[in-house]
Structure 1
Amino acid sequence: MFTMTVSSMSAMMFNLALPSIREQFDLTLAQTSWVSSLYMVIYAIGTVIYGKLADSVRLKSLVTFGLFLFAAGSLVGLFSQTFWMVLVGRSLQAMGAAAIPATAGLIPVRYMSPDRRGSAIGTVMVGLALGGVLGPVISAFILNFAHWRWLFSIPLFVLILLPFYRTYLGDEPSTPAKVDWMGGGLLSATVVLLVLSLTSHSLWMFAVGICILGVFIKWIGNVDDPFIQPRLFRNKSYTFGILIMLLISGSVVSLSFLSPLLLTHVQQLSPGWVGLVMVPAAMTQALFGRKAGKLVDRRGSAYIFTIASGLLLISFVLLSTFIGTSPLFISAFLIFGNVGQMCLAIAMSNTISAILPKEQVGIGIGILQMTNFIMFAVASAVYSSLLDLGTVKKLNLANGYGDGIMYSNIFFVLAILQAALLIFYHVQFVKMSGASVQANQ
């Protein structure tokens, strides 16, 4: 859980530094967003690769390699002098950090019974939430007293845990791993080109990305052990679950990505105050993570999904309507959203683990995590491009503030999307998932 905390901090804490990076290198916000987007693309693909390797390679070896690569990327970024070196450092960080959710995500599935799995997933999620708590605080502290490059130093502390991993992880025999590197490369190229097309407004990049996506789909249908198993998507409940998770992930990214920018540009707060405003929401998320997992075990995923969707809907509506209000109110609005985000992630993970056969649960959860991380990168690029548009018309007529209209519009659209997702989940997904569970039993 400690390692998950550091990993989560590394993914999120650069959001506070984006304005400073943009100013130093004279970039657009969309270009600067690659500091976060590139990390999440590599993180997503790497999570699946490490998940496949975990079936045939010692976990001790995977974790050692991942933590060393995580630290190496941190050193590159710490001494970087150009933007491309910053991106190289973030890329290496992501290649190493991807080992962390891959191994942590397998533990609840492999070692916990279904009636305790929700609680176990909640415990893992606490690590992510703690990163959300500490990330803004530590990031704000560093930015107040030092250059933003020192944010790269935080992951170096995770090396303290390496002796414990080397001591307590078993020495199970390793076997040759079979990984569809071609499929992983095609998927990576697809995501990178699609995100680049959004940040650079390039139609040809978008077209090439779609073409490579077609090649990827054909490829995984013709190889014995593809990067993504097509047979998983023959389960309609699983397909609907992935679709819902994609849209949810794209929505909740707004809370971690847009909030620091909103507080900086609209509220005119310094990085230190931005971090403090975001702390209550992240702290509440951490406190409720394990309780939400236990509640899933007792009341079921559909019950938690409904509550979580309601909390997110409230958060989006309040943020859209009162975009220019006091930072104290913004802090309160974020509490609803962060708790809703946590509960949705637990509910969807638990639901998907229930609707898949036991032998498909591991790869199914891995693909779920991958889509979550990929959508983070895509949504960050979309939001950055929208913020670069400039003057726009107001969509939420209840918003009485003149500043931050684009932020208000984004949250307004997300509120409508969240309401539609809740209806879709209950009309289609609950009925179909129930049938899938009965079939698996």
Structure 2
Amino acid sequence: MTSEPNTVSNPWRALWALCLGFFMILVDSTIVSVAMPDIMESLNADINAAIWVTSAYLLAYVVPLLITGRLGDRFGPKRVYLVGLVVFTLSSLWCGMTTSVEALIIARVIQGVGAASMTPQTMAVITRIFPPDRRGAAMGMWGAVAGVATLVGPILGGVLVDAFGWEWIFFINIPVGVIALVMAIWLVPSLETHPHRFDWFGVVLSAGGMFLLVYGIQQAHGAGWGPLIGPVTVPFVIAGGVVVLIGFVLWQKVNRSEVLVPLSLFKDRNFTLAAIAMTTVGFGVTSMAFPIMLWAQTVLGYSPTQSALLLAPMAILSGVLAPFVGRLVDHGDPRVLAGIGLGAFSIALFWLGSILDVHTSLWAVIPPVLLLGVANGFMWSPISSTATRNLPLHHAGAGSGVYNTVRQVGAVLGSAAISAAMESRLAANIGSSSGAVGGAEAGTGPAADVAGGTSTEMPEAVASGFAHAMGQSLWVPAGLIVIGFVAVLFFERPKPRVRG
């Protein structure tokens, strides 16, 4: 076995095999939201239980990422990827066969663990089998998969639910998982492992801290920042997570044995800046679709599938641009390329936020959606390639784990922030136009009705307030992405890659 990139005769075949599994994971992160009403009706579940169908998956996905990235270094990324793929595929079958919401939540936890095992290995393998002068194009393909999958999930979910029922959003993973497994066994090379000693105390601290932080953020909106369990409040849980994670970092610093996350990763200026930028990307990508989908379905009366198709120009343009941008990354300036992507992302969201209304036409939406396609095409590859270019080979898994963890933490923050922003703007806009501020805050009245999709014929003033609330909420991710834009402007031109 070997870890040298130039010994892999055709790394592109391995990349295609890995991208299929990666695509399946990302689609599954968004496909469930479309099926949620049918799941609630079929399993007789209330809204709190339904929320946990998504939250449990996200928790199980985010928390182990640092650990699974390191496992790839120790046992080989191919082995860990294959184990995760088998777990993910079998748990998908379990999800589709459940007859209670409690069983579905448990199955989703196992599914999230499988996804967490797979995700860091995709970047780690790319880092190890592609030489530096070809890695940008490979990351371009990886980025195209990430961008397109965010759209395919809602569209595919709508089609499957309408045609076959909610179970098929999980059953569809079984044939895809089997094909991905065969391709990975056949095409992905077995790379050299590194005999790491596992930092078990670091594992406990990182998992515990991530769990408290992510769980607190997830529950903040529903609990109103109040009590969660007895006297334990949301701020206390989040603060506890932060304290434990600080303890984890200090342990990584003082531990004289081998650590779980080498802090030397952050001595690389580009890795640190890329991690900051990718946190804002995760925030924006996760939060942007929900207000647009609610506006299209509630105000325009579109079906879930029709609503998701509004973003089709974004996916098409992103898929076309990403491989082209990936080739530019190998020889161009990542500051310019990533800056174009993040700048376009922020401008597009500000643009959409300013035009959403009752009478907004499809033609008015297409230009900013196309700009979102430019953003997705330009930002993934330059950021990812710049982050990993200088990492030594024996830290590829650890670096990939950190990178994917910050992306998913950004996604959790985005999900929580956009919910709070929508509620705040609904209370302000609909309350001021319909005298329903109190009803919105109490979970009753026009604001609550339209937010839950229960109002079929809204007065135009209420519909206008709802549309404006959805648009204004998009300004939250638009503003945060500016931080990522500033971060990538300070990228250094990647140095020749360090072997290790």
Secondary structure of 1:228's partner?
A: coil
Cα RMSD (Å): 3.2
> CA 1:155–1:49 in structure 2 vs 1: closer, same or farther (change >3 Å)?
farther
Matching residue within 20, 28, 40 for 2:58: 40
Contact 1:130 1:286 in 2 (8 A): yes
Q: Give 1:35-434 correspondences, 5 Å limit.
A: 35-157=53-175, 158-169=177-188, 178-180=197-199, 181-199=203-221, 200=223, 201=225, 202-223=234-255, 224-324=257-357, 325-327=360-362, 329-354=364-389, 356=391, 360=395, 362-389=397-424, 390-392=426-428, 401-419=464-482, 421-423=484-486, 425-426=488-489, 429-430=490-491, 433-434=492-493
Secondary structure of 1:25's partner?
A: coil
| Bigger mean CA deviation after superposition, 277-286 or 328-337 | 328-337
Q: Distance in 2 between matches of 1:69 and 1:37?
A: 19
Q: Distance in 2 between matches of 1:409 and 1:252?
A: 16
Question: What displacement does 1:83 show?
Answer: 3.3
Q: Distance in 2 between matches of 1:21 and 1:388?
A: 24
1:25 matched to 2:45? The reply is yes
> CA 1:84–1:215 in structure 2 vs 1: closer, same or farther (change >3 Å)?
farther
Contact 1:183 1:226 in 2 (8 A): no
Contact 2:158 2:304 in 1 (8 A): yes
Equivalent residue for 1:397? none
Question: What displacement does 1:368 show?
Answer: 1.2
Equivalent residue for 1:12? 30
Contact 1:315 1:333 in 2 (8 A): yes
Contact 1:143 1:272 in 2 (8 A): no
Contact 1:191 1:374 in 2 (8 A): no
Question: Where does the alignment leave 5 or more consecutive residues of structure 2 unmatched?
Answer: 1-18, 226-233, 431-462
Contact 1:56 1:175 in 2 (8 A): yes
> CA 1:22–1:274 in structure 2 vs 1: closer, same or farther (change >3 Å)?
farther
Amino acid at match of 1:377: V
Contact 2:287 2:411 in 1 (8 A): no
Q: Distance in 2 between matches of 1:383 and 1:331?
A: 22
> CA 1:373–1:342 in structure 2 vs 1: closer, same or farther (change >3 Å)?
farther
Q: Give the TM-score of the pair, scaled to structure 2.
A: 0.76
| Bigger mean CA deviation after superposition, 254-263 or 94-103 | 254-263
Structure index of larger Rg: 2
Q: Give the TM-score of the pair, scaled to structure 1.
A: 0.85
Q: Deviations over 1:180-214 (max 9, x none)?
A: 33244223323333324423223332333333333
Q: Distance in 2 between matches of 1:100 and 1:322?
A: 39
Q: Distance in 1 between matches of 2:103 and 2:111?
A: 12
Contact 1:140 1:274 in 2 (8 A): no
> CA 1:267–1:89 in structure 2 vs 1: closer, same or farther (change >3 Å)?
farther
Question: Where does the alignment leave 5 or more consecutive residues of structure 1 unmatched?
Answer: 395-399
